[in-house]
Structure 1
Amino acid sequence: MSIVNLLNNIDVDNSFFKQKKDTVLLMLKKAKEGGKWDAVTKMDKIAADKRVPKVDEKADPQASLMSMMKHMYDDGDDEMKRSIKKAWHESQSKKGPGMGMEGFGNLDDL
């Protein structure tokens, strides 16, 4: 088995595998002790970095929060979308009429 583009180096001599009936367990020893891997391969790291929203320190905090919520909504599954819609609806209900949910879909879908 070959894993291409590992994020960091491994110690091949101290790495091993265990084979079971329906599973193979790979135990890879880090070449550098104490290091933390955010991902196994470079492609996994790139994909994970794309999911993390960028925060602009100079931007308005409320605008940044809204941008992050929109990002979570756009990339989220159905359960995440329902949760965001429900929380948004409840917070807007407390504020009173006139505060819409533009960009967050229809409340009837809750």
Structure 2
Amino acid sequence: MNIYDKAHELARELKNSEEFQEYKKLNAEVMQNEKHKEMIEDFRAKVIDFQLKNYGKDDQNPEELEKIQTLQNALMMNSEISKFLIAELRFSQMFEDINKIIVESIKLDE
């Protein structure tokens, strides 16, 4: 089996994982509600904007960070959005862990 076959196998495993299936299901549910969709997209845009503004800086704007945290807390009070965001976090964490394993395994200095 070549490396590309293994990559496709990993992709299938990710797609069939419990974490992805739950995330996919909840994404479909939450995005059907236009208000929820708008709230999530607004939150994501604000987080990305904050990250871009603060990339590489030692001191982040505490007021902006507090606004994002307040918005996140408000979103988490909605049970549907909360379930979705938790599922998204679980899948993202799994994906990040897999990426870390791959990157660490191919370090050139070892």
Structure with greater proportional strand content:
1
- How would you bin the TM-score normalised by the shorter chain? under 0.3
Could you state the TM-score of these two structures normalised by the residue count of structure 1?
0.24
Could you state the TM-score of these two structures normalised by the residue count of structure 2?
0.24
Structure with greater proportional helix content:
2
Q: Which has the higher contact order (CA 8 A, sep 6+)?
A: 2
Question: Which structure: larger Rg?
Answer: 1
